[in-house]
Structure 1
Amino acid sequence: MLLTSLDNPPLRRSVTKHGFAKVGRRLAPAAGTLALALALAIPPALAPIAFSPAALAQQNAPRRSPTTIRDTEIENLLRDYMRPIWRAAGLTQQNLRVVIISDPSFNAFVMDGKRIFVNTGALASSETPNEIIGVLAHETGHIAGGHLARMRLELENAQTMAIIGTLLAAGGVAAGAASGGNMGGAAAALAGPQEIARRSVLAYARAQEQAADRSAVTYLNATKQSPVGMVRTFERMQNDQMFISQRVDPYVLSHPMARERVAALEDLVAKSPYKNVKDSPELQARHDMMRAKLVGFSQPPDAVARRYPPSNTSRPARYARAISAYRYGAVPDAIRQIDALIAEQPNNPYFYELKGQALLEASRAREAIPPLRRAVQLSNGAPLIRTLLGQALVAANDKASLDEAVRELTFGVQREPDSAAGWRFLAQAYGQKGDLPNADLASAQSTLLTGDIRLARELAARARQAFPYGSPGWLKADDIVNLKPPPKQIRRQTP
């Protein structure tokens, strides 16, 4: 499992060594549900509109690129949440996936037709599965409705309208200047067309948000789930907006105000025959474990203790405390707590995974191998867990285990080809075996994923010389050697 955080030193240390898996790539800045990847095409004032109303007051603040996290337990749960929704939306053939962003704010968005992005803050703060399912169903509505492609067209039309209006206004300004006209009014005339275009795009975005809300309720009804969770989510957002709503012009937002959404959703909920349907106890239990895991990995011990005090003896509370204990160096205590969890649920693969990870990060790789093997078995060979097992086998520095390490890591990178860490550990396994060509090739793959194209080419060139001409290894190395880097993009600076 892997969780990354740019703000938490222990978590950052686990990223560079083991465990809660290394996240491969950075994403384009996440603006809002309809921020798209079109920031360069949007006037600066349009871009940073977030899903969460709390972000409205900071919409002009600098944004850093978000970091994704990987975790088998959480990803499997989100897939189970969304599979019926995607079927109801007619999207089962599109290979959709939910990507988790390490960010404490409540946010979810789409940037293409294949991925829904959701912040850890949204997952951790949703008290029931139904609440987060409603949020993700809303994002599914954007994809099913083709909103991204339509927004691109709307932006192009708005740009054209703004340009024409600016040219016409400029002509009037020139005439006014020649006759000694007021220059303040001239500046306003030039700004007018752009403001009209901006508000036109935002109005269109708000209409898409309302359409996605309606689609989400349709999908929930089709899957016999309650839309009440969506109302609860927007009610919390409405409470947040109470402090800023008096200072915000609703016509310069990309989303309707929460109070409007709550009112519209309440009408739809009242008509739903499934409004009183509750999440199953099994699904709620998994949801509670997910929230506990996120808190345990992302919060310091004192925050974990406040959220899950020792007096709370529930399984999620003990899960969070065990994670926190291992992350902050109390490994013996963490192992004791994890073993108690295993005794209660001996077929839970994620408890064995956590135990193996804790031992591995404590430099006890040999002890980590048995629980990780059990985790692989119980998880039906989950790629991320097999990669973690391969890492432990490499770290054990036992020549008898190297063939198994190569096998596990090869499986992992075949299923997760964007895992730079997986390729790096595979390179180490081949290096310990003395197979230098394959070690160089795996290193080239890892380096390529981290963005160092020059070094990747050098490693691939060295590997290519050692492989027989035309062999699979030679062809893979040749592909990297001849790879052309993408053209540099010019970022538009916000004034």
Structure 2
Amino acid sequence: MNNYQIGMKFLYLIIVIPLIFPASIFADELPDLGDVSQATITPRQERQIGLQIMRQIRADPSYLNDAEIDSYLNNLGNRLISSSNEAKPDQSFEFFALQDPSINAFALPGGFMGFNSGLIIAAQSESELAGVMAHEIAHVTQKHLARMISGQQHIGLITSIAALAIAILASRSNPQAGQAVLATAQAGAIQSRLNFTRKHEKEADRIGFNILQKAGFDPHGMAAFFERLQNAGRYYENGAPSYLRTHPLTYERIADIENRTRELAYRQVPDSIDFHLVRAKLKALQGNPADTVAEFDSRIRDKRYANEIAERYGLIYALLRDKKFQRADKELNELYRLIQSDQSLGVLKNHRLGKPVLVESEYLQTGAMIETLAARVKLANKQIKDAFAVYQSALKTYPQHRALIYDYIAALLDHQSAQAALDFINKQSQIIHEDINLYRLEAKAHAALDNHMLQHRAQAEIYIQEGKYHAAIEQLEIALRMSNGNFYQLSSVEARLRQLKEFVAAFEKD
């Protein structure tokens, strides 16, 4: 599905939104938006709108369902949020990535924030990426999106919501498609209002700058990134980068940020290794695999990199994509050697297979990412025993690393160990709740074991996470017709079906 098709699909919001919210919230006569407390849309309704949009985003091929990239972005985002005086305790935030080379980031209603891979790669330091993220967080905490949605007094809230969703998604990397869909939605009169106003941008700059500083990042990163985008816009054949189309940038704004930085004493803020690993992984996932390998080889040969460990990590992922499995194994050994020779890292000397390298607390995410990659390399080379040795040892050191958890279960399923996979899933389900990836693996495990009742129960949970409630009800009803479950399992399915039907009835009644 391309961006234009996503936009067209969002026209369904015009029909669906009235079913979700009371008719009273769609009145054309809205309060003055200068006072956020009078905004028509409540935080709960904002969240529901955001969830509706996110269900479509997650179904799009550009959505990066990568646990490690998600974890990094959310860790970085939560660090910034904890330094914000503006974020309310009950306010939810979720950060995610899209495989899209255009330089862009966007905030959705309900605290959802998307970052294109192109923007993450373009950031030359972690402080630059954190600067963009702090800016987006400020848009959310200041209710800029809610103000814009509620501010369409002469057009109607339903059209505004649909147009907002379409504009954000359809024009993410193809502004012409976005304009076409907006016209289809008959929202041309409000198109100019969908972009953040200069007043909103200046407010987000000021608050984002303070968040960035309090979180311990280099505030110069915000100005440096924005200035580089501004300069790059002069040389774009088709106009400015996508980020500048949705976030109007002026020299006055850049100068204002630079003036703020001059008042602060300069301090060098080192990037985390995780930042470089994530950027390298995103580079490895884009473009033609053979070309990507050649690009990594060239940078390593000429020493054109910010971090050699990350560059070699990215090279190995590129080699796996290019199906150069033996060379990937060779490069993995070189990566381990490089890590052990780096005196700045807390590593275990005399590394041997199945014993994690990075064990210091500040490098746990880094170590887990390295071990996840190592296991994938071993599996690709059909070194099954070695792969499971890596998984089992790494999970003892990094028990909460989602990518390791998912990969280990998938490996068990792929090697005829469905019961072991199911046992591990049941153990993880006590800790990790409402995880769609775990439900998918659980459904596969039950299918392999011919547990049809529980297979359909797991599939129902997948549909619930996707917001497909009627499909979930259908799966639970199928589960009840299966005869291979015990009394406890049958009772559990019946209870879940009753609960879901009650929820849907209340949901549609509202």
Helix, strand or coil for the counterpart of 1:116? strand
Cα distance change of structure 1 residues 304 and 284 upon mapping to structure 2, 3 Å threshold: farther
Say whether the 8 Å CA contact 2:223–2:257 is kept in structure 1: yes
Helix, strand or coil for the counterpart of 1:415? coil
Counterpart in the other structure of 1:175: none
Instruction: Give the alignment partner of residue 491 of structure 2, picking from 462, 471, 479.
Output: 471
CA displacement 1:169-226 (0-9 Å, x = unmatched): xxxxxxxxxxxxxxxxxxxxxxxxx998766x36972211111011111212333432
Say whether the 8 Å CA contact 2:68–2:403 is kept in structure 1: no
Say whether the 8 Å CA contact 1:444–1:460 is kept in structure 2: yes
Taking the aligned partners of 2:438 and 2:457, their CA distance within structure 1 comes to: 13
Shift of 1:329: 1.0
Taking the aligned partners of 1:302 and 1:320, their CA distance within structure 2 comes to: 13
Say whether the 8 Å CA contact 1:413–1:422 is kept in structure 2: no
Taking the aligned partners of 2:443 and 2:238, their CA distance within structure 1 comes to: 58
Say whether the 8 Å CA contact 2:463–2:469 is kept in structure 1: yes
Taking the aligned partners of 2:135 and 2:501, their CA distance within structure 1 comes to: 43
Cα distance change of structure 1 residues 73 and 342 upon mapping to structure 2, 3 Å threshold: farther
CA displacement 1:67-119 (0-9 Å, x = unmatched): 32233433343344333421222337334221112211111111123222111
CA displacement 1:258-290 (0-9 Å, x = unmatched): 43322222222222x14x22222xx34332222
Shift of 1:363: 6.5
Helix, strand or coil for the counterpart of 1:110? strand
Counterpart in the other structure of 1:315: 309
Say whether the 8 Å CA contact 1:109–1:139 is kept in structure 2: yes
Taking the aligned partners of 1:140 and 1:474, their CA distance within structure 2 comes to: 42
Equivalent pairs: percent with the same residue?
20
CA displacement 1:389-439 (0-9 Å, x = unmatched): 11111111036xx134442366269736352x5323212222333433212
CA displacement 1:351-409 (0-9 Å, x = unmatched): 2211223444666666533222233223232234212211111111036xx13444236
Counterpart in the other structure of 2:280: 292
Taking the aligned partners of 2:196 and 2:93, their CA distance within structure 1 comes to: 25
Instruction: Give the alignment partner of residue 110 of structure 1, picking from 100, 107, 111.
Output: 107
Say whether the 8 Å CA contact 2:96–2:115 is kept in structure 1: yes
Aligned pairs for 1:424-439 (under 5 A) are 424-439=440-455
Residue 70 of structure 2 is aligned to residue 75 of structure 1 = yes
Counterpart in the other structure of 1:156: 153
Residue 352 of structure 2 is aligned to residue 333 of structure 1 = no
Residue 378 of structure 2 is aligned to residue 378 of structure 1 = no
CA displacement 1:428-481 (0-9 Å, x = unmatched): 222333433212212333456668777654432121245648732332345567
Shift of 1:156: 2.7
Counterpart in the other structure of 1:393: 412
Say whether the 8 Å CA contact 1:137–1:219 is kept in structure 2: yes
Cα distance change of structure 1 residues 427 and 340 upon mapping to structure 2, 3 Å threshold: same
Residue 295 of structure 2 is aligned to residue 306 of structure 1 = yes
Residue identity in the other structure for 1:303: T
Say whether the 8 Å CA contact 1:89–1:219 is kept in structure 2: yes
Cα distance change of structure 1 residues 247 and 475 upon mapping to structure 2, 3 Å threshold: closer
Cα distance change of structure 1 residues 329 and 289 upon mapping to structure 2, 3 Å threshold: same
Q: Once structures 1 and 2 are overlaid, which stretch shifts more, 377-386 or 472-481?
A: 472-481
Residue identity in the other structure for 1:326: L
Instruction: Give the alignment partner of residue 434 of structure 2, picking from 385, 395, 417.
Output: 417
Consecutive unaligned residues of structure 2, counting only runs of 5 or more, are: 11-15, 18-25, 27-56, 158-186, 341-356, 359-366
Report how many residues are paired: 394
Counterpart in the other structure of 2:425: 408
Say whether the 8 Å CA contact 1:353–1:372 is kept in structure 2: yes
Residue identity in the other structure for 1:320: G
Helix, strand or coil for the counterpart of 2:407? helix
Shift of 1:482: 7.8
Cα distance change of structure 1 residues 131 and 437 upon mapping to structure 2, 3 Å threshold: same
- Deviant stretches of 4+, over 4 Å: 26-31, 63-66, 157-160, 194-199, 243-248, 359-367, 447-458, 477-487
Q: Once structures 1 and 2 are overlaid, which stretch shifts more, 65-74 or 327-336?
A: 65-74
Cα distance change of structure 1 residues 106 and 211 upon mapping to structure 2, 3 Å threshold: same
Say whether the 8 Å CA contact 1:226–1:277 is kept in structure 2: yes
Residue 197 of structure 2 is aligned to residue 205 of structure 1 = yes
TM-score normalized by the length of structure 1: 0.67
Q: Which has the larger radius of gyration?
A: 1
Counterpart in the other structure of 2:458: 442
Taking the aligned partners of 1:292 and 1:104, their CA distance within structure 2 comes to: 14
Residue identity in the other structure for 1:290: V
Say whether the 8 Å CA contact 1:383–1:411 is kept in structure 2: no
Say whether the 8 Å CA contact 2:100–2:117 is kept in structure 1: yes
Say whether the 8 Å CA contact 1:296–1:321 is kept in structure 2: yes
Say whether the 8 Å CA contact 1:30–1:65 is kept in structure 2: no
Cα distance change of structure 1 residues 104 and 30 upon mapping to structure 2, 3 Å threshold: farther
Taking the aligned partners of 2:414 and 2:472, their CA distance within structure 1 comes to: 24
Taking the aligned partners of 2:458 and 2:190, their CA distance within structure 1 comes to: 50
Shift of 1:154: 1.7
Q: Once structures 1 and 2 are overlaid, which stretch shifts more, 213-222 or 136-145?
A: 213-222
Helix, strand or coil for the counterpart of 2:285? helix
Aligned pairs for 1:141-152 (under 5 A) are 141-152=138-149
Residue 126 of structure 2 is aligned to residue 126 of structure 1 = no
Say whether the 8 Å CA contact 2:368–2:404 is kept in structure 1: no
Aligned pairs for 1:87-236 (under 5 A) are 87-90=82-85, 91=87, 93=89, 94-156=91-153, 201=193, 205-236=197-228
Instruction: Give the alignment partner of residue 462 of structure 1, picking from 454, 478, 484.
Output: 478
Residue identity in the other structure for 1:331: F
Taking the aligned partners of 2:2 and 2:225, their CA distance within structure 1 comes to: 27
Residue 233 of structure 2 is aligned to residue 241 of structure 1 = yes
Taking the aligned partners of 2:98 and 2:239, their CA distance within structure 1 comes to: 29
Say whether the 8 Å CA contact 1:141–1:216 is kept in structure 2: yes
Taking the aligned partners of 2:194 and 2:248, their CA distance within structure 1 comes to: 10
Residue identity in the other structure for 2:425: E
Consecutive unaligned residues of structure 1, counting only runs of 5 or more, are: 8-25, 32-36, 42-62, 161-193, 488-495
Cα distance change of structure 1 residues 389 and 132 upon mapping to structure 2, 3 Å threshold: same
Say whether the 8 Å CA contact 1:158–1:198 is kept in structure 2: no
TM-score normalized by the length of structure 2: 0.66
Cα distance change of structure 1 residues 321 and 451 upon mapping to structure 2, 3 Å threshold: same
Instruction: Give the alignment partner of residue 277 of structure 1, picking from 267, 270, 275.
Output: 267
Q: What RMSD over aligned residues (CA atoms) do the two structures have, in Å?
A: 4.1
Cα distance change of structure 1 residues 134 and 394 upon mapping to structure 2, 3 Å threshold: same
Taking the aligned partners of 2:198 and 2:237, their CA distance within structure 1 comes to: 16
Cα distance change of structure 1 residues 95 and 410 upon mapping to structure 2, 3 Å threshold: farther
